[in-house]
Amino acid sequence: MSVLKSIRSMLVPIRREGFPFIATLAFATLFFGWFWQPIFWIGLILTAWCVYFFRDPPRVTPVSEDLVVSPADGRVVAVAVGMAPRELGLGEQTRRRVSIFMSVFDCHVNRSPLAGEVRKIVYTPGKFVNADLDKASEGNERNGLVIEGTHGSIGVVQIAGLVARRIVCFSKEGDKLAPGERFGLIRFGSRLDVYLPLAANVLVAEGQLAVAGETVLARFGEEPAEHRVRID
């Protein structure tokens, strides 16, 4: 029994949303591989990748009301200032936007960037252009959440990409989320935008790799970096 527990502790959990895809690929691999062996090996690789894609590893989230953690694994593709999508109802004021692109090899489970209540969820149909492009924030299919935290409301937008065709949101309006708590996923390659008040001090740079629930994107309570004056 202790051996089984040890094995289970080493295995990374798989999201149940991936089970139908994994089962379908496994069945197709066995069925068609019976008739032609090369298909078996190709199917085996695809099935292993599908298992890897739907992994849901545990994360250790720093707990502080002043911290904003990454909602996704991936590469930071934009740190900019602009307006949040109108459908979120966050007003006309500009905000800090941090965009994270998830490749097909990144974990696609999305996590809450901070503790707060889900005040609004808005799904918006759209295009499926490359999520690595900046125009994807406005034109692509997306699902936006407004989370009310200690330092006000922030927007978190799940954006479909060129390959991604399905956005899944586990949360509903009125839910209270803990920092790092899972709230959704996107299959199979996509992007997340986080819209923060200007008071937030962004701590990441474009090109940096982020880990969902662990990497600190921003901190409240500090003067934004561009406002600081160095005194020698």
Q: 171 catalytic, yes or no?
A: no
Tell me 125's DSSP state.
Answer: -
Task: Pick the catalytic residue from 70, 112, 171, 190.
Answer: 190
The domain 67-221 is placed in CATH, from the list 2.70.70, 2.60.40, 2.10.260, 1.20.1330, at: 2.70.70
Name the pTM for this structure: 0.79
Q: What is the pLDDT of residues 148-186, one digit of tens each?
A: 988 889 999 998 866 656 788 888 999 999 999 999 888
Contact residues for 36 (Cβ-Cβ < 8 A; gap 6+): none
Tell me 16's DSSP state.
Answer: G
Tell me 10's DSSP state.
Answer: H
Q: Is 39 exposed, middle or buried (0-12, 13-18, 19+ CB in 10 A)?
A: middle
- Residues 207 and 194: their CA atoms lie apart, in Å, by 16
For the chain, the structural domain boundaries read 2-53, 67-221
Q: What is the pLDDT of residues 62-117, one digit of tens each?
A: 888 899 999 999 999 999 998 888 889 888 889 999 999 988 888 888 999 999 99
Alpha carbon dihedral 66, 70, 76, 82, in 10-degree steps, equals: -60
Percent of the chain with pLDDT over 90: 35
DSSP for 25-63, please give it: HHHHHHHHHHH-HHHHHHHHHHHHHHHHHTB--------
Q: Is 4 helix (H, G, I), strand (E, B) or coil?
A: helix
Task: Report the 10 Å Cβ neighbour count for 180.
Answer: 22
- Residues 76 and 96: their CA atoms lie apart, in Å, by 13
Q: Is 61 exposed, middle or buried (0-12, 13-18, 19+ CB in 10 A)?
A: buried
- Residues 150 and 165: their CA atoms lie apart, in Å, by 34
